[in-house]
Structures are given as structure tokens and as C-alpha cells.
Amino acid sequence: MEIRDKYNIEDSGTSLSIYPYRLYIYSSWQVIGGLTTAGIVLFFLRGLMDEVLWISLYVVIAYFILQNLYNVLVKANIRYTFCASANAVYRSTSFFQEKKIMTLDELVVFSSSEMGTWHYSIGAKKSHLVKNYTISEQFGSGSKSQEKQELFEHGILDKITTLKSRLR
């Protein structure tokens, strides 16, 4: 999959828009389908298990279905727009209009790590460790992950750096 399609990049020269969670839609729909199938199978196995266990499994399945629906309906529609002409970084979702989260001058791109994986995040210079926003997928230590990282750096981070340099 090409980086442009993966992050749904919209580049107009003076602005760049990305959807960092768009790439998780397909896997979330797969999980929803698998859990729905498990729920249907579990319905027919009701007589073979204790009622408390059966209800507990349905609660767990419902939780993960709702979490993945949130990923598909809300999280996948989060868009970050880096605009050089307005010197601003905007965040918008399907429910909220564009909101300015910082100026492009104070933008810092850094890596954040969590349990063996890491991703790129953005934040304001003085508060990036307190308030930050994820802009990439998770990267690991394998060769495929390194290829994805290089594609992200060349396809997105270089463009953000170019937009920042236009301000000076």
C-alpha cells in the first residue's frame, strides 16, 4: 500500500492533511466481523456452559466490538492539517470542526515509545511531553517496520519540515 493511500494524504503545496488512524479501518472491521461470528457461535453453545461464563464472554465481546466501532467511526476520521499560510496545525474529527492545536512555528516532531513499539508524535515545543498527538502508525524493530518508517519519513515528515521552513 502506498503511503499516500495509507494516510489519505492531501497535499496542496501550502498545506498538508493526514489521517494517521485511517490505516486501522480494515483490521478493525476484521475484528468486528470475527467477534460477531464468535457471538453467534457462543449463542448456540449457551447450553454447554455456565450462565455466568456465557454472560461474561458476551460482555467482553461487546466491549471489543464497541472499541473497534469507535476506531472505525471516530478515530479513523481524525485529521491533522499543517498549514504554512496560516502558520497553524489543525485537528478535526467527524464530530468537531477544525480546531487550531498549535502554531507551525512551535511544532516539534518526536518519537514516543510504548511496550517495544514506537511512533511519531507532534506537540508544542514547551509542552510536547504533556500534550501530544500521534501522527504515525506503530513501528517495531524488524526490516518491514523500518521500510514503513522510511516511507513515513520521506512521504510525510519531509513535507512537514518543508512547510516549517517556508515560514522563515
Instruction: Tell me the torsion sign for CA atoms 66, 68, 69, 73.
Output: positive
Q: How many folded domains does the chain comprise?
A: 2
Rg of the Cα atoms in the chain: 20
Sheet containing 10-11: which strands, arranged edge to edge?
10-11, 15-18, 79-83, 88-92, 99-102
Domain match, 114 and 65 both: no
Each residue of 149-160: pLDDT tens digit?
999 999 999 999
- Give the range of the structural domain holding residue 68, as residue numbers without chain letter: 26-73
Each residue of 60-89: pLDDT tens digit?
999 999 999 999 999 999 999 999 989 999
Percent share of the chain, pLDDT over 70: 98
Domain match, 51 and 121 both: no
Domain match, 63 and 139 both: no
How confident is the model at residue 29, as a pLDDT?
96
145 in Cβ contact with 139 (< 8 Å): yes
Domain match, 83 and 147 both: yes
Domain match, 69 and 84 both: no
Identify the three-state secondary structure at position 114.
strand
Domain match, 54 and 108 both: no
Domain match, 120 and 42 both: no
How confident is the model at residue 168, as a pLDDT?
59
Helix (H) or strand (E) holding 117: strand 117-124
Domain match, 104 and 144 both: yes
Checking if the pLDDT of 1 tops 70, the result is no
Domain match, 56 and 123 both: no
Please state, in angstroms and as integers, the Cα–Cα distance from residue 17 to each residue in 73, 93, 135, 160, following that order. 19, 12, 11, 10
Domain match, 9 and 82 both: yes
Go through the chain and tell me how many residues it has.
168
Read off the pLDDT band of 140 (50, 70, 90): confident
- Of 73, 91, 111, the position where a domain reaches its end is 73
Predicted structure pTM score = 0.84
Domain match, 67 and 113 both: no
Tell me the average pLDDT of the chain.
Answer: 90
Read off the pLDDT band of 96 (50, 70, 90): confident
More confident residue, 129 or 57: 57
For residue 17, give every residue at least 6 positions away whose Cβ sits within 8 Å of its Cβ, in sequence order, or none.
8, 9, 10, 11, 79, 80, 81, 82
How confident is the model at residue 63, as a pLDDT?
98
Checking if the pLDDT of 161 tops 70, the result is yes
How confident is the model at residue 59, as a pLDDT?
96
Please state, in angstroms and as integers, the Cα–Cα distance from residue 80 to each residue in 12, 21, 57, 63, following that order. 14, 11, 37, 28
Domain match, 82 and 69 both: no
How confident is the model at residue 129, as a pLDDT?
75
Checking if the pLDDT of 116 tops 70, the result is yes
